[in-house]
Structure 1
Amino acid sequence: MATTKWAIDPTHSEIGFKIKHMMFTNVSGKFENYDATITTEDDNFENAKMEFSADINSINTHNADRDTHLKSADFFDADNYPKLTFKSSSFSKTDEHNYTLTGDLSLRGITKSVQFPVEFSGLMKDPWGNTKAGLNISGKINRKDWGLNWNSALETGGVLVSEEVRLHIELQLVKL
């Protein structure tokens, strides 16, 4: 069976996350620089193979001081671990528009298996004749599982930064 290679269209994609701050509001962020290799069997995304990496130094939460702190050894430790990586082990169809993506997520030198639901938006030709595909990946991870342990207790109880990180990834892929 023929294989098809896909690339991320960075102008129509976003690798984002949200985390609770002071346990009652969300702080959003994203990675500005990332790359992926995606291979499918023809245009069928079932059993797709995906490899992804993001440059930790490209983290952007719209606050320079917070971004600097996130890059420090308290969190991502970008000097020693400059990349976040993901490699799929399976991409299985659950129904017509939904899949389950399973693979290994590596941060700070720690690799853990994760599983995320994926909404497949279908295939479409853009005005220039390029075949595009849309994927919406969501999910949650516990940052402490990857050694991102820094926190601060609040006087009123609770902690400054939630352990749960919600991922919001919008991918527009272009067929190569």
Structure 2
Amino acid sequence: MKASLHWIRRAVSVTWLSAVAALLALPAADALAQIDAAHSTITATSKQMNVPVEGKFSKFSAQLVFDPAKPASGSAQVSVDMTSYDLGDETYNDEVRGKDWFDAKTYPTATFVSSAIAPAGADKFNVTGKLTIKGKAQSVVVPVTVTTQGAAHVFDGSLTIKRSQYDVGLGEWKDTSVVADDVVIRFHLVGAGK
């Protein structure tokens, strides 16, 4: 039972990283807009022994610049608090924050900084940038769908990352046959209205 819980914790930590990646990869609503965190969500899903495990980040912030008519002039800078990952159990949360997973004491924040935003079809955009987790930076391309909700832009999408590229899951947890290497980050970000 304890071993099973440890696997779940590990998988959740991977999920958090994914979530971080997702937050970081979103385009922004309106010039220098903030995210409405109360109405935004980021989840990360990994598989432990082929069973999906999902977790959420509760603390993140973003500086977003986005105009659908001029996407190339947009930008996104997202920061995620790695200690805010919640698996619903403090014991698991502590495990995920540890050195083998997020090492949140050494690397308390994960970031995404965009370098380009390009149209990819009706209301769809590809956001290219650097995702940094545990001090490891990787170039990623995040597909994002942008819709309007009242006066705010809403950004939805998902991104699959490899946890091994960010050293998430060390020691016995490096084995991707137990906790899969792929982590899917899904996000729903609501830009704060003017």
Q: Return the TM-score normalized by structure 2.
A: 0.78
Identical-residue share of aligned pairs (%)? 24
Give the distance between the partners of 1:73 and 1:57, measured in 2 at CA: 12
Give the distance between the partners of 2:32 and 2:168, measured in 1 at CA: 34
Give the distance between the partners of 2:182 and 2:76, measured in 1 at CA: 24
Q: Does 1:107 align with 2:133?
A: yes
Equivalent in the alignment of 1:147: 167
Equivalent in the alignment of 2:152: 132
Q: Give the match's secondary structure for 1:36.
A: strand
The answer as to whether partners of 1:90 and 1:101 remain within 8 angstroms in 2 is yes
Which is greater in Rg? Answer: 1
Unaligned runs of 5+ in 2: 1-29
Higher helix share: 2
Q: Which amino acid aligns with 1:64?
A: E
Superposed CA RMSD:
1.8
Shift of the 44–61 alpha-carbon distance from structure 1 to 2, 3 Å rule, reads farther
Q: Spell out structure 1 runs of 4+ moving beyond 3 A.
A: none
Aligned length: 162
Higher strand share: 1
Equivalent in the alignment of 1:164: 182
Equivalent in the alignment of 2:6: none
- Equivalent residues in 2 for 1:25-104 (5 A)? 25-41=51-67, 44=69, 46-47=71-72, 48-104=74-130
The answer as to whether partners of 2:164 and 2:174 remain within 8 angstroms in 1 is no
Higher RCO (CA-CA < 8 Å; seq separation 6+): 2
Give the distance between the partners of 2:61 and 2:174, measured in 1 at CA: 33
Structure 1 residue 51, shift from structure 2 partner? 0.1
Deviation string 1:66-107 (CA, Å, 9 cap, x unpaired) is: 211110000110010000100001111111211111100001
Unaligned runs of 5+ in 1: 126-130
Give the distance between the partners of 2:32 and 2:55, measured in 1 at CA: 28
